[in-house]
Chains A and B, each alone.
Chain A
Amino acid sequence: MDFRLSEDQEALKQGIRSFCEGRISIDQLRELESKPGAFDRALWGEIAEMGIFGLRLPEDRGGVELNVADAVLVFEELGRAIAPGPLIWTHLAAGLVEGADLGDTVVGGLDMTGPSTELIMLEHLESIDTLLLLKPDGIERIDPKAIDATPVEIPLDPFTPVHHAKSLPAGERIADAETAKEWRLVGTALASAQLLGIAESTLEAATDYAKKREQFGRIIGSFQAIKHILADCFVRQEAARAAAYAAGATLDYPEVGNVERAVSAAKVVAGDAAMKNARASIQVHGGMGYTWEVPAHYFLKRVWVLENVFGTIDEHSDQLAELVGATA
């Protein structure tokens, strides 16, 4: 056992980070904000070229043949940058939906394994080519154009447009219950990874600002009230890191623990960390934090989106309560 990142993993993470800094910077996101669907197919193609969708496919099928733990690192970086689009769904669909791995088919999805399936809110509907429904008994495919849905005029997250539908047409079954279960677990781990990334980048932004902004003749980062808020953010970030990495490592080798438990723990702890750190970042930015111009709000809005995918903190806590006392 060595829980640290291998050299290859460090390099993979660094590669994705450089890509995000070059192609998904805040300024570039701002340009995207005004585009229809807040979506850029060219960028999607570049993400595909980075191997992000085909990451876990076997090499003989054009993939990179990496593990879930590696995908966690990749999605941590995508989360840091609040990279937009149905990244997790397209990644999951690679190998099952033709063209998903190459970025030719943009795949969106809806997780219907949770407790509230009545209200149908669909993300990125106008940008996707295929919609997948994740149900307890399997995965179904729907043509997005066949759905009678109303666009939501003002979505919470400017980069996550949503449609509201009253009902969904019948879908075509493309995978069984076992695959659905696997997707749900991996999807939860990758959403946790994105939340971890947000916990990191919000702490970083707040730390940078607190080192520059002066009041009372000194930087606000010299006030203990500010330092301690950010120290707590750091602790939450490290807990989220440990939890998200453990979820990936457990999915790869289930014999090391309990997969459900590791994945739920990651969603809870990374979700908490992202939520609290994103709020703290706004607070530390003061009035600037309440503006549209400072990007702090984008991160919190994305956290609220991610809290509502692949099970909420409360749902996962309830599930974990059942597992308390079972051997890990």
Chain B
Amino acid sequence: MDLRYSKSDEEFRVELRGWLEQEVPKHGVSPDQNDWEGRVEYDTSWQRKLFDAGFAGINWPKEFGGREASVSEQLVYYEEYARARAPYVGVNFVGLLHGGPTLMVEGSDEQRAAHIPKIIRGEEVWCQGFSEPTAGSDLAALKTRAERDGDDYVVNGHKIWTSYAQVSQFCELLVRTDPDAKKHGGISWLVMPMDLPGIEIRPLPTLQGDSDFSEVFLEDVRVPIANRVGKENDGWRVTNVTLRFERGTAFASEMYRLQERLAQLKQVAKSITRWDASAWEDKALRREVGHFQAELDSLWSMVKLSVAQSGETGVPGLGASAVKLYYTELTQKVLEVYMRVIGRAALARVTIDDLPNEEVLDKALNSLSLSIAAGSSQIQRNIISERILGFPKDR
């Protein structure tokens, strides 16, 4: 139960902080949400800078080009990264945070060699083809078929909510290889190149007004059998490895950044006049914000425990579900109060009177997805009650 950072942790902090202070402003502001070319360039060139400076793949093993940082250095990294407002992982999310890590644990040597060095340099963008129109929370009900033909699987099906599909080179694709096996038993995990014939991508506008996710239609797409990760029909187990990474520390820097957002909320409240005093004079608001501060600090302490626990195995544990639920609900609550503070400025999604309304609204709208994506809050509660508390499964 020791929270002290070591001397070398602090040295790492100084080094990283110095680098970020120099590089983050140079990298400029992120392009418009609908400027895909600009976004890819912005996100991937930033990843390349991280790599060249030795700050990419912070928890990845050295043999895969990562920094293999200790648990405490990882925490320093998340803290400093958030503090410096460094660019969001963006289009690199899938590759860096769960596609690559899944290959490290489950992939063959060839698969690792083919993808991991490129993912960590920002040279390969990945997407996740898991969800289907009739298989969301019940992911194992997926229907996309893969039939063997020579050296290939011939894939037919329909994926949905595929983030960054339109800019990806590869897709972690779940397919059904045995239609007669039980639901969880006939699934395989494939690496699908996105430039194969038969793939059609139709962007779906999100409630943000961007098109961060798409529908992906697959018609007789020939994916080499060699691209399968893990054994045939053992894909559900591999999927759980992927999902655990996705629910693990993928959001750590975002969690820390909430601290800063709450501080900003306080500053804004002080600058806004309600009747004849500042909004911060409102005792009810202050009490609520103080309560959030307690929860935010606890969230970060939870992350410290959770990272230490997963540090041993490399795979985040079940406790990650508790962290995700707590983070999701807290983020939504904080942003709702933030919207109340900016009042009628919330009617505009472009900056008014130097208020942070544009950013607040972007974040508030985005926070709605947190309780749906990567396993909805209801599914996380099922996981906790069934796998941790030991209650029977839903039918």
Contacts and interface: CB of A to CB of B under 8 A. Distances in A.
Contacts of B134: none
A234 B322 contact: yes
Given A231-B384, A262-B297, A321 B287 contact: yes
What DSSP secondary structure best describes chain A's contact surface?
A: helix
A239 B389 contact: no
Interface bin, chain B: 35 or more
A5 B298 CA distance: 17
A70 to B, nearest CB: 8
Given A3-B2, A4-B309, A268-B291, A246 B297 contact: yes
Contacts of B295: 239, 265, 268-269
Interface string A170-197: 0000000000000000000000000000
Interface string B312-350: 000000010011011000000000000000000000000
B381 interface: yes
Contacts of B309: 4
Given A253-B3, A324-B263, A242 B301 contact: yes
Interface string B366-395: 000000000000101110111011111010
A317 B291 contact: yes
B251 to A, nearest CB: 15
15 contacts: A1-B3, A3-B1, A6-B1, A227-B389, A234-B322, A243-B297, A253-B4, A261-B293, A268-B291, A269-B295, A269-B298, A316-B294, A318-B283, A324-B289, A325-B262
Interface of A: 1-6, 9, 69, 207, 210-211, 219, 221-222, 224, 227-228, 230-232, 234-235, 238-243, 245-246, 248-250, 253, 255-257, 261-262, 264-266, 268-269, 313-314, 316-325, 328
Contacts of A320: 290-291, 293-294
A247 to B, nearest CB: 9
A230 B4 contact: no
A209 B213 CA distance: 44
Contact of A227 (B262, B266, B382): B382
A325 B308 contact: no
Contacts, number: 175
A89 to B, nearest CB: 24
A261 B389 contact: no
B80 interface: no
A328 B71 CA distance: 20
Given A2-B2, A3-B3, A245-B301, 9 more contacts: A1-B6, A207-B390, A228-B378, A235-B384, A243-B294, A246-B298, A265-B297, A321-B287, A328-B297
B12 to A, nearest CB: 12
A268 B392 CA distance: 33
Contacts of A238: 302, 319, 322-323, 326
B5 interface: yes
A9 B391 contact: no
A212 to B, nearest CB: 12
Interface centre among A228, A235, A257 (most CB of B within 10 A): A235
